[in-house]
Structure 1
Amino acid sequence: MAKRFAVLGGYTRGWQDVVDDALPDDDERAVQEAAVTALREELSLISNSESLVILAGSGASLGITNAVTGTTCAPTMGSLWSEVENLASFAKVKAQLSTDPIAARNLEHVLSDAQARLALNPSDLSLETFIAEAEHIVWTKCSFVAEDSDLESHELFLRKVARRSTRLQRTQIFTTNYDLAFETAARRARFNVIDGFGYGGQDFDGASFDLDYVRRRPHEPLALEPSVFHLLKLHGSVDWTASDGGVQKVYGATKPIDPVLIYPSAAKYQLSYQQPYLEFMSRFQIALRQPDVGLIVVGFGFNDDHLSAPIEAALRSNVGLRAVFVSPGVRDGSRAKSLDWIEQLIGKGDRRLTLLEATFDELVRVLPEVPSKEERDAHAERIGLGGSRQ
């Protein structure tokens, strides 16, 4: 039988597998159907929270393919390592670096090791060249989104999580990915993106997150546009460049002269508390402390301490937070300790939390559709049209 996904929540009796094939056992089929129904209801509660926060990691991009050839576009850490390993500059510095990260093919640790050694010996041109070439590979391989990229899942995801009632807070999508998947999907699906660069602006200004889109019609009051969301790129973007102490967005096929990215290394935690990343981290922490907040974490393995810590703190202190954590490796033996702890909370009866063993594409399919008439709007209209009671 082909398994679609597996789910663990306060509404299941342990991990519940859900399969595509018809089950001969009526009781087992009923159990699975009940689990899927309960999961959809939980996802609906999360999606309709006053504040909706999404954290999308690398797993949210791994399923992107070329629409013509069907080939996978997004790089994995393994494929990035293979490219870096073949550099002539790597061969020159390999003997200087620690053997364990190299043997483990861990690009993040190898770059961290090289950067630390360069800091101790700034005149080492071999190390400097290797680091620059390795970072260039990361930028190049993550600049894969093009007009022939299949972003159907990302477009549908936006329609399901970002087209909410305008009486609710704008959906905030935080992502560690450098690529332009969400921006391109938003353009194709006719969404407006508030990303810190103003209305089509070029220079980053964190205050622009406090602006919004409204619709103006003759003889009608101003109304908020429904298809708008915030996009906050926690580790930078392939179309950002450093300029005069600030950050600018480049357009078209122009390559940034000085890309603004937090590359894979141990410096991620430190760099995330510098601008413009400080603005994103601040808003991430504030968002998780809202009294009625839904959190969807997808494709994130909890390997970045600077992001894992705020989530864990919110789970401990914010009883108004409901969350689902989605990854194909969410119950692997090698998973992060944070996921062990979340499963323990669920086992102790924490009904706010759900673990979903699924890909980004599978999450998109199981997410409930946007209701044709959001209940909050319908209720407001009933109260407004009914007039005051005598």
Structure 2
Amino acid sequence: MVFWNGRPAAAANLRLLNTNVGWKRYEDTVDLDGKTTFFGANREVELSFATALNASNLLLLTGAGSSFCARNAQGAAGAPGMGDLWDAVEAKVTAPGMAEVIALIPTAAGIGKNIEKLLTLCKLYVSLFLDANSNKVEAFIKAAEKAILARVDFVGSTTDLTSHRSLVRKIARRGIRKPRTKIFTTNYDLCFEYAAQGQQFVIVDGFSHTTPQVYDRAHFSYDTVRRGSADDAPDYIENVFHLYKLHGSLDWRRGSPSIIRSRTEADGSPVLIFPRDTKYQEAFETPYLDMMGAFQTALREPDTALIVSGFGFKDDHISKPIMAALEANMGLRVVLCDVAFISDATLEAEPDVVPKNAPRMFANPYFEQFIAIAEQGDPRLTLLNGRFEDLALVVPDLVSQTERERHAERMIAARTNAANGVFA
């Protein structure tokens, strides 16, 4: 993705699909005399997001693409792609050890650095063969899963989560009479957790407030209220959202008999759906089934807006319910933002309008379905070419900051300055 490499986040990076003309650039074009020679898509995009944020039910779906904008200090590892996970596994088991396992599986030789495909083939091998080699492959799978778990653990208190913080602040601060925003993600990392912590947002994620924190789906039906005395009516607090981690989280462990929040290996096995083709089957186990059930139910609610960014529609068990809901629920609006719609070479020329049939960055049948539906005149779809961090900049901040929030920010800044020896 040469066009996007090192490109700072900006609203100007976005393009909107106008089915009459093509992919319009976001900004207006103004000549040297100050005359507007081309009206960009900014007004249409702003209207679309304003409509989405005012929906009764607001959902956000993200995947691996949303984590690439999380930045650590120079030299520290960031969000991994599939190639990075392959390298992490290879470093764990050594190159000769990995080559030995690949040699045992005839169809594995030509898969490139596709760790998902390799783990799928390894699982099939172990299921089909009961010999000494299957024990070797089983050991490789366990080592690979440990390497993947360690590699996705890249987020900490010093990670730059500007885009996540911005988006959480904008979509999770809603009127208390509306349902809480629901964020669904396939990522194992803790980007949204740290983004919420830094702004004192409350996350409802199915875990108790005990020590250790224990998972129970009933916790998704709980809320947080402010009560001054026994006689006061419940006052729902601001800045609360639901977080559903569809493929698990690196800080979940399956103990006996419960799932607890922990990053300690002694507390149980990781609760993660690791990269392989069996994700669909594994998604029907607890707690993944609870998360998927909540997602499918939310998609069927009237007056619902779904914002999708950083999710590549490569998981059928998530993609198909979206397509089915779009067909069945007339009250569902979808805003989809991804870099896959337009190739690098086309974007390099920076035209005002990119033709609808321009080469794609990646071929994806679901994206083509979305385009086909939009071309039929369905007003519920907004299709954008861009990244998660670009989208975070154009989402409007519809709810003004409260005095309580401003006070909390002042206190945090004061404590930070004191810790750093700054007293001016």
Of 307, 320, 334, which residue of structure 1 is paired with 2:362? 334
Q: 1:91 to 1:319 in 2, by over 3 A?
A: same
* Alignment partner, residue 304 of structure 2: 293
SS of the aligned residue for 2:16 comes to strand
Of 3, 10, 14, which residue of structure 2 is paired with 1:5? 14
Pick which of 325-334 and 94-103 moved more. 94-103
Aligned-partner Cα distance in 2 for 1:249–1:9: 45
Of 142, 146, 151, which residue of structure 2 is paired with 1:141? 151
Aligned-partner Cα distance in 2 for 1:212–1:299: 28
* Alignment partner, residue 160 of structure 1: 170
Determine whether 1:119 maps to 2:127.
yes
Q: Render the CA deviation track for 1:149-188: whole Å, top value 9, x for unaligned.
A: 1112111111100010111111010100000111111111
Written as runs of structure 1 = structure 2, the 5 A alignment for 1:54-69 is 54-66=60-72, 68-69=73-74
Aligned-partner Cα distance in 2 for 1:317–1:106: 35
Number of corresponding residues = 368
- How much has 1:79 moved relative to structure 2? 1.2
Q: 1:125 to 1:53 in 2, by over 3 A?
A: same
Q: Render the CA deviation track for 1:105-140: whole Å, top value 9, x for unaligned.
A: 211111100001011235522101111111111100
Q: Any conservation in 2 of the 1:327–1:357 contact (CA below 8 Å)?
A: yes
* Alignment partner, residue 14 of structure 1: 22
* Alignment partner, residue 224 of structure 1: 236
Written as runs of structure 1 = structure 2, the 5 A alignment for 1:91-130 is 91-99=99-107, 102-123=110-131, 124-130=134-140
Q: 1:144 to 1:42 in 2, by over 3 A?
A: same
Aligned-partner Cα distance in 2 for 1:19–1:71: 35
RMSD: 2.4
Written as runs of structure 1 = structure 2, the 5 A alignment for 1:259-338 is 259-331=270-342, 332-338=360-366
Pick which of 136-145 and 364-373 moved more. 364-373
- How much has 1:246 moved relative to structure 2? 2.9
Uncovered stretches (5+) of structure 1, i.e. residues with no partner: 375-390
State, as a whole percentage, how many aligned pairs show the same letter: 37
Determine whether 1:170 maps to 2:180.
yes
Q: Any conservation in 2 of the 1:215–1:225 contact (CA below 8 Å)?
A: yes
- How much has 1:55 moved relative to structure 2? 0.7
* Alignment partner, residue 247 of structure 2: 235
Written as runs of structure 1 = structure 2, the 5 A alignment for 1:27-106 is 27-29=36-38, 31-32=39-40, 35-66=41-72, 68-69=73-74, 73-86=78-91, 87-88=93-94, 89-99=97-107, 102-106=110-114
Of 371, 386, 398, which residue of structure 2 is paired with 1:370? 398
Pick which of 285-294 and 350-359 moved more. 350-359
- How much has 1:353 moved relative to structure 2? 0.4
Aligned-partner Cα distance in 2 for 1:20–1:78: 38
Q: 1:370 to 1:199 in 2, by over 3 A?
A: farther
Q: 1:373 to 1:361 in 2, by over 3 A?
A: closer
Q: Any conservation in 1 of the 2:245–2:291 contact (CA below 8 Å)?
A: yes
Pick which of 97-106 and 57-66 moved more. 97-106
- How much has 1:200 moved relative to structure 2? 5.2
Uncovered stretches (5+) of structure 2, i.e. residues with no partner: 343-359, 403-424
TM-score, normalised on structure 1?
Answer: 0.88
SS of the aligned residue for 1:157 comes to helix
